[in-house]
């Protein structure tokens, strides 16, 4: 009877051990979950550092305007049916708006975190054409010409390095911050302008020079019937953002040059209107000066492949020990699994100092070296330990390639898994289950 039981156990031992190893691999996902939380915590600290620094320097900047606002009087009826005069606002946008800007990026550090700031020189110029009063059903006598004002929007006023001024025809106007709460801005820079009925028929020209600090992003709202924006910088890694990509862009290791041309029919707001309110910034476009290597995002993506690395390593180890008549305890599998999980903490910690690619190399060398040394002591075979180390190096190289080729990650992953399955099927034929 004992011989029969022993025979059954010997035949089913591999199956039982395989199941134990599979369960162990799944259980190792628990520590990888804590590693993911650690990555999120470190990334949150980086964002806190960015908020702290940018709050003292200046936040993301968006320039909107200039917009000409002219009060007018319209007739309305009160609750008693009596006709009364009500004051409302009419809004006029430029016929042409030209923007030329040079962005000078500055890297700052808060502890181990790198923050992207910039200073910029912005030149605005353009003109207002004849005011379309008939289109708005307005008579010249309806408008309160002496209460007209020009307004300009700047997202974060802390970034202004000089007094904000605008040349209006032949005069220079100083704009001051104000809570105007009209249909364009709730807060902005305003200045009263002197407009006569004769000037309204001819139009107005304007220009302004703005020296502005900001962080990460600079964008512009295309309020002109034709808006042309030209940006240049010595930052080599721009990310163009907003409602429109540049028509022309030239990016090199020494910087970038980009230009946009936007026409009024591509926006969701008109060139002139009265009474209504519009969100002009919804049409904004510009550039992000982001730091290209985000180690946290790449580390998080690499953790997603943890179960793949663990299963393939365990499968290779299981095939090696079985085909060579060696015996390895499940506890030793667990120790190898913990070494595979610790790879991601090494990757996270080193990437904060030396970048993701270098950290990946350090983590791979350390993990493969540790497992090779451990397996050499278990199997007492240099050949088998080197064989497993080659498998690990190929595995980590495969995952690294997937991380770099985002667009082809699914294709490369599918092909890699298919080839891996074919190899496992080939070597499993020799096992007497």
Q: Which domains does the chain have, with CATH numbers?
A: 11-45+296-428 (no CATH), 60-291 (2.60.40)
The residues pairing with 343 across neighbouring beta strands, listed in sequence order, are none
Which one has a higher pLDDT value, 326 or 400?
A: 400
- Determine the average pLDDT of the residues in 85-96: 87
User: If we measure between CA atoms, which residue out of 304, 371, 315 comes closest to residue 340?
Assistant: 371
The alpha carbon of 1 is separated from its chain's Cα centroid by a whole number of angstroms, namely 69
- Reported as type and span, the H/E element at residue 261 is strand 255-263
pLDDT of 306 > 60? The answer is yes
212 has a pLDDT exceeding 90: yes
Residue 346 has pLDDT above 60, yes or no: yes
CB 159 within 8 A of CB 57: yes
On the 0-12 / 13-18 / 19+ scale of CB atoms within 10 A, 360 is buried
pLDDT tens digits for 379-419? 877 887 888 888 888 888 888 887 776 656 666 667 766 77
Q: Mean pLDDT of all residues in the chain?
A: 83
Q: How many beta carbons lie within 10 A of that of residue 247, not counting itself?
A: 12
* Assigned token pair, 209: 């020079």
Q: Residue 225 CB: number of other CB atoms within 10 A?
A: 20
Is the entire prediction scored with pTM above 0.85?
no
Q: Tell me what pLDDT residue 186 has.
A: 77
Q: What are phi and psi of 394, to 5 degrees?
A: -65, -40
Q: In this predicted structure, what is the pLDDT of residue 166?
A: 93
Reply yes or no on whether the pLDDT at 6 is more than 60.
Answer: no
Q: What single DSSP character describes residue 298? A: H
pLDDT higher at 155 or 84? 155
Q: Alpha-carbon distance 97 to 47, whole Å? A: 35
Q: Would you place residue 362 in the very low, low, confident or very high pLDDT band (cuts 50, 70, 90)? A: very high
Highest mean pLDDT among 190-194, 287-291, 389-393: 190-194
Q: Is the peptide bond before 225 cis (omega within 30 degrees of 0)?
A: no
Hey, is 375 helix, strand or coil?
A: helix
Going by the DSSP 8-state scheme, the letter that residue 236 receives in this structure is S
Rounded-to-integer distance, Cα 344 and Cα 199, Å? 69
- Position 286 pLDDT exceeds 90: yes
List of residues 6+ apart from 55 with CB closer than 8 A = none
DSSP 8-class letter at 143 = B
């Amino acid at each position: 009877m004992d011989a029969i039981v022993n025979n059954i156990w010997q035949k089913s031992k591999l199956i039982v051990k395989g199941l134990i190893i599979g369960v162990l691999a799944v259980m190792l996902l628990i520590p990888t979950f804590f590693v993911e939380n650690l990555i999120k915590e470190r990334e949150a600290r980086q964002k806190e550092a960015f908020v702290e620094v940018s709050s003292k320097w200046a936040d993301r900047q968006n320039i909107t305007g200039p917009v000409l606002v002219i009060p007018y009087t319209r007739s309305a009826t009160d609750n008693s049916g009596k006709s009364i005069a009500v004051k409302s606002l009419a809004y006029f946008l430029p016929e042409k708006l030209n923007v030329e800007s040079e962005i000078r990026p500055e890297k700052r550090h808060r502890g181990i975190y790198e923050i992207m700031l910039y200073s910029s020189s912005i030149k605005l110029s353009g003109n207002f054409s004849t005011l379309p009063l008939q289109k708005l059903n307005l008579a010249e006598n309806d408008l309160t010409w002496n209460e007209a004002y020009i307004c300009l929007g700047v997202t974060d006023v802390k970034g202004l390095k000089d007094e904000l001024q605008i040349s209006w025809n032949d005069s220079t106007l100083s704009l001051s911050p104000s809570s105007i709460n009209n249909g364009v801005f709730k807060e902005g820079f305003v200045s009263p302008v002197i407009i006569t009925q004769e000037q309204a028929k001819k139009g107005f020209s304007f220009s302004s020079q703005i020296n502005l600090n900001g962080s990460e992003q600079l964008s512009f709202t295309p309020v002109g019937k034709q808006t042309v924006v030209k940006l240049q910088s010595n930052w080599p890694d721009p990310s163009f953002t907003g409602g429109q990509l540049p028509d022309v862009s030239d990016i090199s290791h020494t910087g970038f040059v980009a230009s946009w041309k936007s026409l009024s029919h591509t926006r969701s707001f008109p060139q002139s209107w009265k009474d209504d309110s519009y969100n002009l910034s919804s049409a904004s476009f510009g550039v992000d000066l982001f730091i290209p290597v985000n180690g946290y995002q790449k580390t998080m993506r690499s953790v997603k492949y943890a179960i793949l690395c663990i299963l393939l390593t365990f499968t290779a180890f299981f095939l090696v020990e079985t085909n060579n008549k060696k015996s390895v305890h499940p506890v030793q599998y667990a120790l190898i699994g913990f070494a595979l999980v610790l790879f991601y903490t090494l990757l996270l910690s080193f990437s904060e100092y030396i970048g993701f690619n270098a950290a990946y190399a350090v983590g791979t060398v350390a993990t493969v070296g540790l497992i090779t040394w451990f397996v050499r002591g278990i199997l007492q075979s240099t050949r088998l330990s080197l064989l497993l180390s080659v498998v690990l190096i190929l595995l980590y190289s495969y995952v690294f390639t997937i991380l770099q080729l985002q667009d082809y990650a699914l294709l490369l992953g599918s092909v890699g898994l298919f080839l891996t399955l074919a190899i496992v099927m080939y070597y499993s034929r020799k096992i007497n289950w």
